[in-house]
Structure 1
């Protein structure tokens, strides 16, 4: 599913944002870290990284990939840390796994409480008002003699605080064809609402969703990258 994701480019992009807007510290936590690919790059960039996720099997793989890092099995909506952090990240739109606006607010509050002065919360997000239910992305990868085709797309009914990430995986080999379909409920929020949730706690910078260039959000694109600096 993740064969086309450039984890290094994403990690490097955030490290550049942190150099520009952050407090220059190196204590980092990745929310919804999965198997730790982003953490691996942050460690290589010189950060003291840790990860948080709800899935223990993924954390087990993350520990193999990043033995230097600490990992926490916990919900990102109510986490706490022992020592203040300088950077908190949440990649791959995982901030939307907060179930409802109230839990999203709790996640923002938890991140603010966990950060040191001048620390940053960085994540990407999709604007529910811009979702086209007909749009999807698709890519293929070969693995162990089979071809896998992965499709994903956002769905939103136009009202309420729930949207869905729809997933499809097709496996094609010489002898069989298999198809898996799934749908993940996620919190729906537009950028006016999201900014209003963030601003009591952070100075909010919104950028174009382009990991090669740091450009201000144009106000039109349906996805963007948020770089949020903790308010005193």
Structure 2
């Protein structure tokens, strides 16, 4: 077995790696949440959009979509999949938009790609500033205190005569604001096997801390991580969907005192 990088460009295998994800179900659920909590507008931005599968479903639902990612090859594939949408290379922690948005999404735990709490704070502020009144920011997250380092997700797929095995899992060392997403990929062609392993540093927060970061900017409702049923978070599970409605900070600010 050779220990060599499986690929240098993740975009070539991204869709295969995520083949078991229910993009339609996830997109439909967030559309439903936006209809419940949002302002009725259809301007949408997907952060860390990858190759654009969620955007494809939001376009089909009647949204005017844009996508943001730091990987241009990913965005090239997204543009081919979603020619009606616009895409830009940018960092989700510091982005701006030309016109206010009604819905910002961030799927597949990608909010954790903010490398540290400071970057996460910047992302929250950027999302707030990009939204129109009563706009909604939706994402899913994992609570660092509930991570089981022994647990992982594994699936296999066949592609162009090769057999692929994908495995991923969270790892948290027990303290600090960094966790890791560990990836292991094997590609088998007959008797020859290639192996690729890596890990991505990500921000680690618990849900109490995350809600505290969001509260100054948003009205926050937390749901169980179930895209088929809308259930309130039971305050025990370590995965959840966050629905954040933009606050009117001007209305919350104390009135200026009137001079006597």
What is the TM-score of this pair, normalised by structure 2? 0.88
Shift of 1:166: 0.2
Q: Which of 165, 187, 193 is equivalent to 1:171?
A: 187
- Structure 1 gap ranges (5+): none
- Is it true that 1:119 corresponds to 2:168 in the alignment? no
Please list the CA deviations of residues 23-76 of structure 1 after superposition, one character each: whole Å capped at 9, or x if unmatched.
110000000001111001000000000000100111111111111111111101
Please list the CA deviations of residues 165-187 of structure 1 after superposition, one character each: whole Å capped at 9, or x if unmatched.
00001112213111111100000
Question: Residue in 1 aligned with 2:221?
Answer: 205
Shift of 1:95: 0.3
Question: Residue in 2 aligned with 1:188?
Answer: 204
Question: Residue in 2 aligned with 1:110?
Answer: 126
**Number of residue pairs matched?**
232
Q: Any idea what SS the aligned residue of 2:59 has?
A: helix
RMSD between aligned residues:
0.7
Moved over 6 A (4+): none
- Rounded to whole Å, the distance in 1 between the matches of 2:189 and 2:213 is 47
Question: Residue in 2 aligned with 1:12?
Answer: 28
What is the TM-score of this pair, normalised by structure 1? 0.99
- Structure 2 gap ranges (5+): 1-16, 249-260
Shift of 1:16: 0.4
Q: Any idea what SS the aligned residue of 1:197 has?
A: helix
- Rounded to whole Å, the distance in 2 between the matches of 1:91 and 1:169 is 21
- Rounded to whole Å, the distance in 2 between the matches of 1:19 and 1:184 is 34
State the structure with more CA Rg: 2
